[in-house]
Amino acid sequence: MRLAWLLLPVMLGGCASLAAQPDLRTITLRLVPDETYQTQDGWETVLRTAVTTVSDIYAKHFQIRLAIHDIVPWSAGETAPAREMLKRLKARMGLGEADVVIAFSHGRCLPLQHGAALPFDQFAFILTGCPAAEGSRSPPTAVILSHEVAHLFGAFHPAPGVQSVMRGGPADRFDDQTIRVIRLMRGFDFRQGVLGMNEPTRRAWSAIYAEGHASGEANPLAAKTAIAGWEALLAGKRVDGEQAIRTAVELAPADAIARAHLGFLYAAQDRLEAAVQELRSATALDLRLVEPRSVLGFVLLRLGKDDEAYSEFREARRMDPRFAPARVGLATILARRELLADAIREMYEAARLDPRNGDTQLRLARLLYQGGYHAEALQAARRARSLGRAVPADFLRGLEPSAPTR
């Protein structure tokens, strides 16, 4: 009897220790293989094996299990930079009942790019079959998947020299910062997103980030908060959106993405001079930013500063020839300068690059009409209307077949 009493505290202690262990959290995945990935023999087996491998790693280190909810093949279209492919994925593929969508592609080899995922997001794009450097082998799919899943939980690239999957290390090698971030964010509500994070969690994440990180990259929390704020604004949640953008700037005053979105906000509020200041700050902080430079061009247009706007649009087009808004801006200025043939050429290219933009189709229709190409203008106007863009009735009547054509 006395032995039983002596063992009781040990038994209770052991039970308490077991109870303290967090429950295994399951994250459901919608896997999206594109047309290139599906050309591989046994692609589905490879896909399932990679998920199982990474799930076992995350269960061991973080008590997180990855479970495949469904597999939905899709056609990703022509190859573009990884972030552009990610944007395309988000626009075309819904979450369904899954927590996260992860797309897989094969052989779309972009320099030093093996995937893309915004921290604290629900979408990731993985590029397989591409060497890490010239003459080197392609990283295993499990390595890329482990890396991108860590991003979704808010992990970032650590400083150079750190041994980690976040610096190209093995799938199960996590540096101390990544471990602490994923454990901090283990309960992250993917549906609610970054705007659901409370202040203590933001402070704790920021403290880990402040210890060190890769240079030349956006602050992940500030950038995602700004982006989420803008998305809230577009959804009609004005107060939430404005607060999120201001929070992002407070988190990282020198972050280019945060300042760019503050510029977007000012432009939407018709505070044009303030918008110019913020957008110029953003493009100076990160010379690679294309969209803020293009928005700056449109703000300058509204201020009547066509020459400055032209310079911004031209630079944006040089940086990314596939970025359609820059070509729309150039076409607008060229038309004002009565260089109509050049304007039509730029607008045609913008419409080709962004074929589902009704506003661009209507702009093209107006330019074609101005040039006397009535039949082509009618086609563009009808495309604009089919895409949901309101087309003035009098403009359509002027384009009817009875009107003179060339």
- Sequence-ordered list of residues with C-beta below 8 angstroms from that of 147, at least 6 positions apart, any chain: 114, 115, 165, 166, 171
Return the pLDDT at 10: 35
Name the superfamily (CATH) of residues 218-288. Answer: Tetratricopeptide repeat domain (1.25.40.10)
Q: Residue 136 above 80 pLDDT?
A: no
| Class of domain 25-192 as given by CATH | alpha beta
- Continuous segment of H or E residues that includes residue 196: none
Closest CA to 350 of 379, 317, 373: 317
Domain locations in the chain? 25-192, 218-288, 290-354, 357-400
Q: Residue 386 above 90 pLDDT?
A: yes
pLDDT band at 244 (very low <50, low <70, confident <90, very high): very high
- 21 contacts 59 by C-beta, under 8 angstroms: no
25-192 and 218-288 have identical folds: no
Return the pLDDT at 14: 43
Share of residues in the chain with pLDDT > 90 (%) = 76
Place of tokens 């969508």: 101
| Class of domain 290-354 as given by CATH | mainly alpha
- If you average pLDDT over residues 137-144, what whole number do you get? 88
Distance between CA 242 and CA 398 in Å, rounded? 42
Per-residue pLDDT reduced to its tens digit, 1-47: 333 333 333 333 444 444 455 689 999 999 999 999 999 999 999 99
pLDDT band at 402 (very low <50, low <70, confident <90, very high): low
Distance between CA 333 and CA 337 in Å, rounded? 6
- If you average pLDDT over residues 97-105, what whole number do you get? 95
Place of tokens 């050309």: 39
pLDDT band at 132 (very low <50, low <70, confident <90, very high): confident
Q: In whole angstroms, how far apart are CA 302 and each of 272, 280, 305, 332, 335?
A: 8, 16, 8, 12, 15
Per-residue pLDDT reduced to its tens digit, 196-220: 999 999 999 999 999 999 988 889 9
Return the pLDDT at 77: 87
Torsion of CA 117, 120, 122, 128, to 10 degrees: 20
- If you average pLDDT over residues 273-277, what whole number do you get? 97
Return the pLDDT at 173: 96
Place of tokens 């101390």: 176
Query: 224 or 393, which is more confident?
Result: 224
Per-residue pLDDT reduced to its tens digit, 150-178: 999 999 999 999 999 999 899 999 999 99
Determine the 3-state secondary structure of 118 from DSSP.
coil
- 62 contacts 68 by C-beta, under 8 angstroms: no
